[in-house]
A and B are shown apart, each in its own frame.
Chain A
Amino acid sequence: MIETGMGAVLLFSYLTAPFLVIFLLLVVLSVRRGKSGGFGAHTEVLKVVEVVWLIGVGVVWLTINLVSIPWIPWLQTAIQQPAVAGEAQVVEVDAYMWAYKINPMEVRVGPVKFVARALDTIHALAIYKPDGQLLATVMLMPGMREEITVVFDREGEYVIRCLEYCGDGHGYMFSKIIVR
């Protein structure tokens, strides 16, 4: 769950909201100490706080950098579907102002390798699950070819949408792929 877009945003909220509350409380406390004249150095305590704070930040840094490795699409495919990754169905996608040419438009449940390119300007190939969750997005630049393998774990209609601003029809640039 945490690897999804909404998971990321919830984690962001759970970590930053308490941070902001504590930050503001410390600001209020600092102002009160200033008014009351009760300020002064607490060097030993602050040294402990400094070490604890930096260790905490380090733990978050290390944890996310390690935990997030399997979420990287090309590694995710290799980890989840090692046996079939080489047998993925191939879908070719051409993106242009403001439509997609997708071939084939129907695939089976399982790993699918998208081979995509942009024909005129920068576009994206963003694939949404039937429940609306963003499965993966790829940026496409003219003259380049991007390949990404995603695993479709259930049947349904997967919406394809452009996430890179590409001119007047950007908001209308979407299509779909059927998974059976």
Chain B
Amino acid sequence: MKIEDLTTYPRRMVLTSMLWFYTGGALGITMLLLHLTGLATPQTYYQLMTFHGFAMPFGGLFQLMMALSLLRVGFCYGKPINDGLVKLSYILLNLGMLLVTLAIAMGARTSYTLMFPLPAAGAFKELWPLEAVTVLVWGVVMVLAVVIVLYPAALARLIFTGKTREALVLEKFMGTLNPSGMAGMLPYIFIIPPIGAAISLAAVAIGTALLGLVPISSVGWALHSLNFNYPFWIFAHNLMEAMGIMAIGTVYWLIPRYTVTGAGGTGVRTLYSEKLGLFAIVFYSTAAIMAFPHHLFTMPTSQPQGLSYTGQVASWLTGFGAAFSVFNVLATSYVFGLRLTPASLAAILGFGVYVADGFLAMQLGTIGWAYRLHGTYAATAHLMTILLAVTLIWIGALYHSHQLLFGRPENKKMAYIHVTTTAAAALGLLYTMAALGGLGIPRRAYPLPLTDPTYVAVLLLFAAILAVGQIVFLIQLFKPKIVRPVAVKVSG
């Protein structure tokens, strides 16, 4: 057994995720420039928007999460991360993303949420060719196969089966059911496959019909917009929640390791309260399952009002899960003393941004406010911020494993710049977009109904700060000697 058995695929995934994340990010900045200058046609803008939406969360963040969660499982349980499930996950996710990219290049511009039945309606109206829809659907099917089946299966296989190789155990194992161990990964493993099964089957059925293998009439049930959107939102909502819980689990794992207390300065390794941590994960996961109706609150007749009330109450209950975590994480830092490193800073700042954004999420999950905010930039503010917050937490995990993955420690000075600029930009974007939402500005609209370009300019400023942070990260990764580590003078 070699360390490469542990690191080869996670490293590949991390580097590939950067390609998607940074390309998507560059297009995000381009979109803001287009809002300021009006230089593009709506067709071009919406193609960029669709790619931006697919690339950053799936090719970027999801792949980064996949890499670092598998790596953590591998080095805690002492198991190689190179089996067929891992390889297939890596290949299929990126192949699916390439197909989605091809579909967008062919003209598909549906947004990453598909807005079903927009893909079909657009083809019917000859906005894009039907062939583009077929390629898009099969790209999505491949991505879903990884998100819903292969990745959780790979995680479960590593956690629950196989033999531990002592040579690969690099960190003290804290327990499968412990929040500072693997408990944060379990909701993803047990919730996402059953909850995503229906939408996966619908996507495969539609894809099969588009290829002409079965008559289109046989998948009529899946083509009805309401039928499609319920399984879609049950899945999409809980995917974001499961990714969030996975990130909180990462904070639970990282912060105790960067406390001062503990033998040999290795950190206390457990939370202030492990029981409260486990309770928070279970409580949050359970409440989140039934929070999904908030995505469809603004259908006062089609969505049963009782389902809307359930969605509101459940949405707010997820806030309790977060509140337990806020206390636990801060109490861990305070009681045991926090050791400041790029990893701990990224994890705790990402967590802070996540919680702040959570309040906006709960407001969007309030029926009365949803009727004044849904479909505006407030929704974009929430989605973008939760993704950036979770990314920041995983950046913490990346810095934690920097030596293992890249064979050398990170350049601390540059890493701090990376982490702080990312957090500051995420908050700046959050508040600016929320303000646009308060003004009722529609999201995904080009051009924006704004007479004053100040808001877009401010968004561009924060996006530029975010970009600078990522450029600094790339420099530290590939050219770390451009900025030298701070010299320490030893007297005597």
B46, B324, B438: most-surrounded residue (chain A CB, <10 A): B438
Assess the B327–A54 pair: CB atoms within 8 A: yes
Asked if A64 meets B316 with Cβ closer than 8 Å, knowing A39-B335, A143-B225, the reply is yes
**Contact mask for chain B residues 437-457; partner A; CB cutoff 8 A; 1 contact, 0 none:** 111101111111100000000
Q: Judge whether B43 is part of the interface by a CB distance below 8 angstroms.
A: yes
User: Separation in Å of the B305 CB from the closest CB of chain A?
Assistant: 7
Interface size class of B (residues with CB under 8 A): 35 or more
Asked if A65 meets B438 with Cβ closer than 8 Å, knowing A40-B335, A97-B125, the reply is no
Q: Judge whether A31 is part of the interface by a CB distance below 8 angstroms.
A: yes
Asked if A3 meets B369 with Cβ closer than 8 Å, knowing A15-B359, A146-B302, the reply is yes
Report A-chain residues with C-beta under 8 Å of the C-beta of B122: 121, 167
Q: Judge whether A105 is part of the interface by a CB distance below 8 angstroms.
A: no
Assess the B319–A139 pair: CB atoms within 8 A: no
Q: Judge whether A124 is part of the interface by a CB distance below 8 angstroms.
A: yes
**Contact mask for chain B residues 330-346; partner A; CB cutoff 8 A; 1 contact, 0 none:** 11011111111000000
Assess the A61–B427 pair: CB atoms within 8 A: no
Assess the B359–A46 pair: CB atoms within 8 A: no
Report A-chain residues with C-beta under 8 Å of the C-beta of B319: 57, 61
Asked if A122 meets B316 with Cβ closer than 8 Å, knowing A6-B439, A23-B330, A136-B372, the reply is no
Report B-chain residues with C-beta under 8 Å of the C-beta of A133: 440
Asked if A16 meets B359 with Cβ closer than 8 Å, knowing A161-B442, A167-B127, the reply is yes
Assess the A120–B300 pair: CB atoms within 8 A: no
Q: Judge whether A10 is part of the interface by a CB distance below 8 angstroms.
A: yes
Report B-chain residues with C-beta under 8 Å of the C-beta of A162: 442
Report A-chain residues with C-beta under 8 Å of the C-beta of B334: 26, 29-30, 33, 39
User: Separation in Å of the A164 CB from the closest CB of chain B?
Assistant: 6
Q: Judge whether B214 is part of the interface by a CB distance below 8 angstroms.
A: no
CB closest residue in chain A, given B259: A34
Assess the A71–B337 pair: CB atoms within 8 A: no
In residues 1-27 of chain A, which contact B (Cβ within 8 Å)? Answer: 3-13, 15-16, 19-20, 23-24, 26-27
8 Å CB contact of B375 from A19, A38, A68, A139: A139
8 Å CB contact of A141 from B225, B427, B440, B448: B225
9 nearest interchain CB pairs? A71-B368, A163-B375, A34-B337, A9-B438, A134-B440, A39-B337, A30-B333, A6-B438, A30-B338
Q: A54-B327, A168-B46 are in contact. List 15 more A-B contacts (CB 8 A).
A: A3-B368, A34-B338, A37-B260, A61-B317, A64-B362, A121-B122, A124-B375, A137-B372, A137-B374, A141-B299, A144-B225, A162-B442, A165-B115, A170-B46, A171-B448
6 residue pairs A–B, Cβ–Cβ below 8 Å? A12-B360, A16-B356, A20-B427, A72-B371, A124-B298, A148-B300
